[in-house]
Structure 1
Amino acid sequence: MKINKLKLFTRNLNEQKEFYKFILELELLEETTDSFSVKVGESILTFVLGDDNTFYHFAFNIPSFQITESYEWIKQKIDTLTYEGKDIIRFDSWNAEALYFYDADKNLVEFIARKNLNLVSQEKFSKENILYISEIGIPTLDISKVFNTLNNESGLEIYDGDFESFCAIGNETGLFIVMNYLVKKWMPTMEEGKPSPFEIVFDNSHGEIFTLIYKNEEIKIIKDVR
């Protein structure tokens, strides 16, 4: 799975634009009076002014062996979020390491280095090493319903987890992180997730492109028939 575009909502449009343009140093692709878009490597991230959202969790893949370098880069700009006193968190079952930080909206943003992908860079870590959007969280009360919709309409499979508390759907280049928000909380802050609307354009690794709209805990998927 590959996430091509992700549209989120914000109450603080100007602050978010400043964060992504000047803190993460991402290229500003487009802006209007009520939205802006930045280039996240191979993906596009858009924020639209709105007040229906609480907060989001999403992740960016970085080179597989540069988590320490990414920490040194980001900590010069903002504080990272710790878990059990650690700035860099290991996920042994995923063969990955990650760090987390807040953006201007207090969204939970993650850099994750997935060693299985063997994404190698010899360059010093910079914005160019923020490769693409690789995760978006979906807080819900019905994980099985979300999975069945994704599986039936786009063919995505379970990467990890179950229908009780947490289920990662897709693969290491793109995942929907589906969480029962009454059972499980977001790492590393252990905040309770709440459903927030978003739109995403993704492909399922078989050349098929889909737009997914999530609102009021309901999913609508539209297949690109071009």
Structure 2
Amino acid sequence: MFIDRAEFLTAEPLDRLISFYNETLQFPIVDEGLSGRVTFQAGYSRLTFVSVESAENDPYYHFAFNIPSNKLDEAKAWISRHVQLGVEAGEDVSYSALWNSHSVYFADPAGNILELIARHTMDNEVDRPFDAKQDVLNISEIGLPAHHVRSAVDALEALGIPTYKTRDDSFNPIGDDEGLFIIRTVGGRWHFTNKTAESFPILADIRGLGELHLYESGQQLVIEQN
């Protein structure tokens, strides 16, 4: 599943996000309009933030970026010079035997939970030092909290997106190594953080499916496809 673009809401001033994503993560700005939005290039994917007014529960999301399968250690050394890494059980690297992957977690100024993930199932090794401008390959995961995980998964599978690895009623990824939606129960804790999963509107442009507008209404996932 190729995630060509993801669009998230934010109550954080856009200048702080521009500083973080453009200057720290080195994502080029491809569109900085006057309509309260900014878009960055992250590998072949585009990452857009749309400004909204601050509220009692400001929007935040979880999303991940694929990096070359042999570059986790170097990527960790690079990102840890700029941000504090998430820690779980005393470890700052997450290893999944089921997924055959290593990853690190960190936050942006808006409280979004970011992840750099090296999937050892992918043939994307590089024989040079890690370079953020080249080696952040794409948006590879979008967290999609739902009150009813099974029905959300069923709705996305009906579009042709398959479950990844395992089916589960509280945490169910769908897609493939290239791109995933991470469907998890609203109120559950995001891995390597102390933040709970909350549902906020998402736009995801999926290659072959078009734009999917995803949001919850009446505790059910709504999918509007353009």
The answer to whether the 8 Å contact 1:87/1:99 transfers is: yes
Give the counterpart letter for 2:97 in structure 1. D
Secondary structure, aligned partner of 2:92: coil
Structure 1 stretches of 4+ moved >3 Å: none
The answer to whether the 8 Å contact 1:212/1:219 transfers is: no
Secondary structure, aligned partner of 1:76: coil
TM-score by length of 1: 0.91
The answer as to 2:119 corresponding to 1:114 is yes
Aligned-pair distance for 1:177?
Answer: 0.1
The answer as to 2:88 corresponding to 1:83 is yes
The answer to whether the 8 Å contact 1:9/1:48 transfers is: yes
Correspondence for 2:17: 16
- The counterpart of 1:189, out of the listed 189, 193, 202, is 193
The answer to whether the 8 Å contact 2:11/2:59 transfers is: no
Give the counterpart letter for 2:49 in structure 1. F
Aligned-pair distance for 1:77?
Answer: 1.6
The answer to whether the 8 Å contact 1:198/1:213 transfers is: yes
- The counterpart of 1:134, out of the listed 122, 132, 140, is 140
Identity %: 28
1:186-221 Cα offsets, whole Å, 9 max, x none, are 110142111011101012xxxx23211112353224
Aligned-pair distance for 1:50?
Answer: 1.2
Correspondence for 2:51: 49
5 Å-filtered alignment, 1:29-178, equals 29-33=30-34, 34-51=36-53, 53-127=58-132, 128-152=134-158, 154-178=159-183
Correspondence for 2:222: 219
The answer to whether the 8 Å contact 1:98/1:111 transfers is: yes
Q: Which runs of 5+ in 2 are unaligned?
A: none
* Cα distance in 1, alignment partners of residues 199 and 206 from structure 2: 20
Aligned-pair distance for 1:222?
Answer: 1.8
* Cα distance in 1, alignment partners of residues 16 and 78 from structure 2: 21
TM-score by length of 2: 0.91
1:49-107 Cα offsets, whole Å, 9 max, x none, are 01475310000000001100001111122221111111111111100000000011011
Aligned-pair distance for 1:118?
Answer: 2.3
The answer to whether the 8 Å contact 1:59/1:133 transfers is: yes
CA RMSD of aligned residues (A): 1.4
Secondary structure, aligned partner of 2:70: coil
Aligned-pair distance for 1:129?
Answer: 0.4
Give the counterpart letter for 1:26 in structure 2. F
The count of corresponding residues between Structure 1 and Structure 2 is: 217
Correspondence for 1:27: 28
Secondary structure, aligned partner of 2:121: helix
1:107-128 Cα offsets, whole Å, 9 max, x none, are 1000000000121111211221
Secondary structure, aligned partner of 1:110: strand
